[in-house]
Amino acid sequence: MVVAATEAASAPLYRPGLEGVPATQSSVCDIDGQQGLLTYRGYRVDELAAQSTFLETAYLLIWGELPDAEQLAEFEQEVQMHRRVSFRIRDMMKSFPSQGHPMDALQASAASLGLFYSRRALDNPEYIYSAVVRLIAKIPTMVAAFQLIRKGQDPIQPRDDLPYAANFLYMLTEREPDPLAARIFDACLILHAEHSLNASTFSARVTASTLTDPYAVVASAVGTLAGPLHGGANEDVLIMLEAIGSADQVRPWLDRAIAEKQKIMGFGHREYKVKDPRAVILQKLAEQLFDQFGHDPLYDLARELEAAAAERLGPKGIYPNVDFYSGLVYRKLGIPEDLFTPIFAIARTAGWLAHWKEQLGANRIYRPTQIYTGSNGRDWQPIEAR
């Protein structure tokens, strides 16, 4: 939708939600929303999910090239060495209310990293490297720590012998995960690592453009990701599926939801007019998990909802997005629903940092304009006269 600002022919056009308005130039990621194609730095995401690891993909996103063996080994080792968080951060997290949402806990803890690490040497490549390492390393530790703390337990330390994804699942569940579960979880992180100028990445770039520190950049992006129209939808999908209850209830439920003009969670995307390629892969990953660890009846319900929604919403280009099947994968991995969005944040930290670095490379502070719709020339009135 394009709305003319004023009657004047020369007035700027206002596009709600900045739909279709380029707000940056970027070489990080490309989306073909008609074909359902997603590439990171020119590599197809399905190929990366099948062949790469999350840390290798993070390196690719942030530095623009796949690492060679030495670069990858060094990056992995640096990340492994910086996984622990200060006892002060753990103590701070212990004072958070246990019923608070883990996304709020993550936003506060991510911001707190800025208190501990030196700030704003933004023209120093070593500072950039160490900030990237710290954020990629510590965000999962903080997500897992809050999970244990809110259950009344002390967080457990990361295990140096476990790779990134397996270590996160270990810190969360206190059990070494099955290798297939860890591999599928790592693929989920790859699929969520980047997605061009979505709301949280835009938020990260706006924050980055002020030349503040990278911990503030990630904290602002975490807050933006939390909303139900963005990353928060993955949690809401499972709540929705559980509320529908059974496959035979899907069609009457959908009829009611459409009649009431409700948004169906996990459906629709500003960029895709076909099924999100990440949803296609996540669905396959969910099926692999069900084959190995047992079926989930909510999956039958989800497929019925996808079929019914394709009839009703498909003509408008509304199909499952990344959030539709990810929750079923995480549920099978035994992860609580309110951690789905923090897990999204663990992955998307790679994309946010790639955009942070790119923004610094050609920075100009974001300062868009507005179309003023308020009053003018009003005289102040004393309170007794109002």
Asked if 273 is part of the footprint of ligand ACO (rule: CB under 6 A), the reply reads no
Q: How many CA atoms lie within 13 A of 346 on its CB side?
A: 28
Is 29 among the residues that bind ligand ACO (CB under 6 A)? no
Burial 239-266 (b: 16+ CB within 10 A, else e): ebbeebeebeebeebbeebeeeeeebbb
Least distance in angstroms from the C-beta of 189 to ligand ACO: 14
For position 247 contacting ligand ACO by CB under 6 A, the verdict is: no
183, 230, 284, 303: which one contacts ligand ACO (CB under 6 A)?
230
Sketch the per residue contact string, 308 through 337, with ligand ACO: x for CB under 6 A, - otherwise: -----x--x-x--xxx--------------
Residue of the chain from 266, 327, 342, 351 that contacts ligand ACO (CB under 6 A): 266
Closest CA to 347 of 145, 159, 200, 155: 200
Place of tokens 């692999």: 288
Torsion of CA 37, 203, 316, 302, to 10 degrees: 80
State yes or no: is 323 an active-site residue: yes
Cβ atoms 132, 62 nearer than 8 A: yes
Per-residue b/e over 338-373, b at no fewer than 16 CB within 10 Å?
bbbbbbbbbbbbbbbbbbbbbbbeeeeeeeeeeeee
Binding residue for ligand ACO (CB under 6 A) from 7, 8, 9, 17? Answer: 17
Q: Which helix (H) or strand (E) holds 71?
A: helix 69-81
Q: Does residue 20 bind ligand ACO (CB under 6 A)? A: no
The residue among 66 and 313 lying less far from ligand ACO, judged by its C-beta, is: 313
Nearer to ligand ACO, 53 or 321 (CB): 321
The active-site residue out of 323, 338, 355, 379 is 323
- Distance, in Å, from the CA atom of 155 to the CA atom of 171, rounded to the nearest integer, reads 8
Closest distance of CB 354 from ligand ACO, Å? 17
Q: Which residue is nearest to ligand ACO (CB)?
A: 268
Dist CA 195 CA 361 (whole Å): 19
| Cβ contact 258:146 at 8 Å | no
Site string for ligand ACO, 339-378 (x = CB under 6 A): ----------------------------------------
Q: Which of 101, 192, 195, 269 is catalytic?
A: 269
Residues 188-227 as x/- pattern, contact with ligand ACO by CB under 6 A: ----------x-----------------------------
**Residues in 86-145 that interact with ligand ACO by CB under 6 A:** none
Q: Which is nearer to ligand ACO, 316 or 367 (CB)?
A: 316
Q: Write down the least CB distance from residue 384 to ligand ACO, Å.
A: 45
Torsion of CA 100, 189, 131, 355, to 10 degrees: -100
182 closest CA partner among 335, 39, 337, 44: 335
Residue closer to ligand ACO by CB (options 170, 319) is: 319
Out of 267, 319, 352, 356, point to the residue binding ligand ACO (CB under 6 A).
Answer: 267
Count of residues touching ligand ACO (by CB under 6 A): 20
Count helices and strands in the chain by DSSP H and E runs: 16, 5
- Dig out the tokens for 108 from the structure: 């506060």
Interface residues with ligand ACO (CB under 6 A)?
Answer: 17, 198, 229-231, 233, 263-270, 313, 316, 318, 321-323
Q: What residues are annotated to the active site?
A: 269, 323
